[in-house]
Chains A and B, each alone.
Chain A
Amino acid sequence: MTSRLRDELKEKVAQTKPEERHILLCGGVPCRSLRCLEVKEAVSDELHKHNFEEKVKVLETGCIGNCKLGPSLIIFPEGVVYRRLKTENAREIIEEHVLGGRLLEHLLHRDSISDELQHRREDMPFFQRQRRLVLKNCGMISPGINSYLSNQGYAALAKALTELTPEEVIAEVSRSGLRGRGGGGFPTGRKWQAARDTPGAEKYVICNGDEGDPGAFMDRSIMEGDPHSVLEGLILAAYAVGAGQGYIYVRAEYPLAVQRLERAIGEARKSHFLGDNILEQEFSFDLEIRVGAGAFVCGEETALITSVEGSRGDPNPRPPFPVQKGVWGCPTVINNVETLANIPAIVLNGAAWFAETGTEKSKGTKVFALAGKVRHTGLVEVPMGTTLREIIFDIGGGIPAGKKFKAAQTGGPSGGCLTEEHLDLPLDYDSLKAVGSIIGSGGLIIMDEDSCMVDVARYFCDFNRQESCGKCTPCRIGNKRMLEILEKIISGQGEEKDLQRLEDLALLIKNASLCGLGRSAPNPVLSTMRHFRDEYLAHIKDKHCPAGVCPELSRYYIDAKECRACGLCARICPVEAIYEVENERVYRIDPEKCVDCGQCQEECPFEAIEGGRKRKKVAGV
């Protein structure tokens, strides 16, 4: 921010009267996990103390998006953002800024690269480079119906019901080029058309909010921050396909989302957006929330259907597809949360407007959940086709602690990893598929040099093994066998043949499994083997874990070239594991005796002692 702008802002802060102000506080779950509700209470208490609680409103919003700022609040009309707040800061915010009109510089965000103070959301590169269509309300309004209505809420529904036939709605969505945001990337319009064309008196629409992908949280944020946009999208879908009943399937791990959706449904019913004769038209629709009980496979559509029906969530073969035979045997459309949240804007602004954004075959924007070893974690919405480099380095601020970027995991346990060579790859459905990964639901986990890719493959393989429903053999037993081979490699017993075995098994599971979980379960293994084969070989041939993660393969050893035979290490070793090699003037560590205490490495004046397990410090960065 230039000094002129800063002076202008300072002046604006000084001139604004306290009663013109209102405060938005991020109440997303990540901020709640850092005790933002206590901050909210403290701020309200301070306002009460000064008798301003009537004049200055404090509103809790959904997730603002930049979670590394949390707990944070924005003071309007100036739009100043204060970050990393504690309850102690409440007093100065109220007395100094709200009542006194003075900026509190020590609570502002300082950019880690340019070392500049950033006063407002608009000044931060994290927000500047995003294009927020789905998330436009998230963090900017409170999740109630009044805020939604004053931001063009339900205008698309009114337009569709009064001006458009269901066929016209489908045509509009088809023309927009919108594809399913849950992972498959199936054209939404075509899905709707298929359900509409299937004969049947009763039809259903389901919103898939079973965001089981570890590392993805965009659907949770939308359901919590802007629940009415999801409802409106679902009602429009119901109108288009001719459904009378709908379900929203939400994970039990998201209690706040369930609560917000329940409230939103209640409000929508009261305002006649749900129920009989919606907006006094000949269209009736109602919906119910179904809460999951912790099963990743239920995100797969046929499994989701059996789970909605109240049984264990076993998947079924397709065809018949849900659009032909779904819940209770009736034609059913299942759409992901983010897909549905895109619908109102498409209906309202038209297909051409939507298709302006994105690439040729992937239209619109995509919300990514940025997490892992990256400076600014949070929600990032960018046009399809944005490169990985822009997301990680320009928006995410790069890798913390001066570490090197190693890999980005996309698509969770069904996806694969992207490496340095893919940094300039435009991210969309087809480009990611070409390099052996998927866009998935949009989870983007960044890993630095401290992550061992073999262990990452083991982690995902273990996840898929746990979550396999057990119905078909390739997935149930194949994943277990793959895990065993990976564990063998990690423990130092790996042979070169194992790589071939892994590959054969992986292809077998991929080809022979019944549902999407099994068919995509080997992807993380295949993708790490493709891009980090040398790391596998280091584990197998050299019995060494380059990242220092696998305990058995992270033993200490002395680099003979560096060793000056000073003997210091042998003297401090508590178990006398270090001895001098006769006639060679070098020292060596006896791996049988070594207890991996690491003292020798700390003390060696020539840094000749290598290896050792690099302990991850919990939340060290």
Chain B
Amino acid sequence: MGNVRRRFYFFMKKPAAQLKEKAKGKYDKLDTVLEKYKGRGGVLVKVLQEAQEMYGHLPRELLIHVAYELDVPLSEVYSVVSFYSLFRTKTTGRIHLEVCSGTACYVKGMEDLLEYFRENLSLRPGGITDDEKYSLTTSNCMGVCSSAPVIKIGGELHGEMTLEKLQQLLKEHENDKQTQR
């Protein structure tokens, strides 16, 4: 085992060290988190959750950084990231849309919402518009089944969705973004 680990790090350390040079200063904020958890077992999920909260998504560079700092193989980090559906390795749009695809929402017509995005924004689940304005994912169930169908727009939950209500909400969010800027 020890031998395998040593060999692994032989291959790992070089690019990681180079990347570290390249990513210098990029993940400073994360280092305080890493410092807090370093040397403790069972913290990988927590570190990644906090990292995603800070940076919005988890690019490969960041994963290498985490693997290097926590002294775990990159494959293990990647296996955790790809296993849990809430970890994202791609960027999100300025307005992130999350359609609930739980059973109640399915029965109440959540596919019509997805069709709306597909037809009007050429946006499919997991995708992002070319201008990076909207991104779309589906969630397996937000537990708000009694108000189905539900959608999360920019982290805010909206229930009993209709196409008219959706258009109205998108407009509101656009205006909000403009006034913020």
Which A residues contact B (CB, under 8 angstroms)? 29-30, 32-34, 67-68, 70, 211-217, 220, 251-254, 291-296, 307-313, 369-373, 377-379, 409, 412, 443, 445-447, 451, 459-460, 463, 466-467, 469, 615-620
Rounded to whole angstroms, the CA-CA distance of A444 and B71 in the bound complex is 46
Name the segment of B9-17, B22-30, B59-67, B147-155 touching the other chain.
B147-155
B103 partner, pick from A33, A215, A251, beta carbons under 8 A: A215
Residue B95 lies at the interface, judged by CB distance under 8 Å to chain A? no
A371 partner, pick from B45, B84, B148, beta carbons under 8 A: B148
Give 17 new A-B contacts, CB below 8 A, not counting A217-B145, A311-B76, A377-B104: A33-B157, A214-B102, A251-B143, A252-B86, A292-B84, A311-B45, A312-B84, A369-B145, A369-B146, A370-B146, A372-B103, A372-B104, A377-B148, A445-B104, A445-B107, A466-B140, A618-B163
Rounded to whole angstroms, the CA-CA distance of A309 and B102 in the bound complex is 28
Give 1 or 0 for each of B140-179: 1 = CB within 8 Å of chain A CB: 1111111111100000011111110000000000000000
The residue of chain A having its C-beta at the shortest distance from the C-beta of B152 within the complex is: A33
A30→B45 contact, CB < 8 A: no
A459→B103 contact, CB < 8 A: yes
The residue of chain A having its C-beta at the shortest distance from the C-beta of B164 within the complex is: A618
B146→A294 contact, CB < 8 A: no
A215→B104 contact, CB < 8 A: yes
- Those of B74-96 within 8 Å (CB) of chain A: 76, 79-80, 83-87
Contacts of B80 in A (CB 8 A): 311-312
Rounded to whole angstroms, the CA-CA distance of A438 and B105 in the bound complex is 21
Contacts of A29 in B (CB 8 A): 142-144, 157
A interface, over-half SS: loop
Residue B133 lies at the interface, judged by CB distance under 8 Å to chain A? no
Residue B121 lies at the interface, judged by CB distance under 8 Å to chain A? no
Q: List 25 A-B contacts (CB under 8 A).
A: A33-B159, A213-B141, A214-B103, A216-B145, A217-B143, A217-B146, A252-B49, A253-B139, A253-B143, A291-B49, A293-B45, A293-B86, A309-B42, A310-B42, A312-B84, A313-B84, A372-B145, A372-B148, A443-B103, A446-B107, A447-B107, A618-B112, A618-B162, A619-B148, A619-B161
A221 to chain B, nearest CB (A): 8
Give 1 or 0 for each of B103-129: 1 = CB within 8 Å of chain A CB: 110111111110000000000000000
B144→A30 contact, CB < 8 A: yes
Interface residues on B, range: 35 or more
B160→A34 contact, CB < 8 A: yes
Contacts of A34 in B (CB 8 A): 147, 159-160
A294 partner, pick from B76, B86, B145, B162, beta carbons under 8 A: B86
Contacts of B161 in A (CB 8 A): 618-619
B140→A371 contact, CB < 8 A: no
Given contacts A34-B160, A215-B104, A618-B112, whether A312 and B79 have CB atoms under 8 Å apart is yes
B134 to chain A, nearest CB (A): 19
A216 partner, pick from B101, B107, B143, beta carbons under 8 A: B143
A372→B45 contact, CB < 8 A: no
A312→B162 contact, CB < 8 A: no
Given contacts A309-B41, A310-B45, whether A617 and B147 have CB atoms under 8 Å apart is no
Q: Which of the listed residues B45, B84, B142, B157 has the most CB atoms from chain A within 10 Å of its own CB?
A: B45
Given contacts A310-B44, A373-B107, A443-B103, whether A618 and B143 have CB atoms under 8 Å apart is no
Contacts of B160 in A (CB 8 A): 33-34, 619
Across the A-B interface, give the 9 residue pairs with the lowest CB-CB distance, nearest first.
A310-B42, A33-B159, A67-B146, A214-B102, A293-B84, A214-B141, A294-B86, A616-B109, A371-B145
The residue of chain A having its C-beta at the shortest distance from the C-beta of B145 within the complex is: A371
Given contacts A293-B84, A310-B45, A617-B109, whether A220 and B163 have CB atoms under 8 Å apart is no
The residue of chain B having its C-beta at the shortest distance from the C-beta of A34 within the complex is: B159
Contacts of B84 in A (CB 8 A): 292-295, 312-313
Rounded to whole angstroms, the CA-CA distance of A122 and B36 in the bound complex is 52
Contacts of A253 in B (CB 8 A): 139, 141-143
The residue of chain A having its C-beta at the shortest distance from the C-beta of B112 within the complex is: A618
Contacts of A30 in B (CB 8 A): 144, 146-147, 159
A70 to chain B, nearest CB (A): 7
A237 to chain B, nearest CB (A): 22
Residue B43 lies at the interface, judged by CB distance under 8 Å to chain A? yes
- Those of B26-68 within 8 Å (CB) of chain A: 41-46, 48-49
B33 to chain A, nearest CB (A): 14
Contacts of A213 in B (CB 8 A): 141
B109→A254 contact, CB < 8 A: no
Contacts of A292 in B (CB 8 A): 84
Given contacts A215-B102, A295-B84, A619-B162, whether A70 and B147 have CB atoms under 8 Å apart is yes
Rounded to whole angstroms, the CA-CA distance of A308 and B104 in the bound complex is 29
A212→B107 contact, CB < 8 A: no
Rounded to whole angstroms, the CA-CA distance of A373 and B41 in the bound complex is 46
A618→B113 contact, CB < 8 A: yes
B44 partner, pick from A68, A254, A311, beta carbons under 8 A: A311
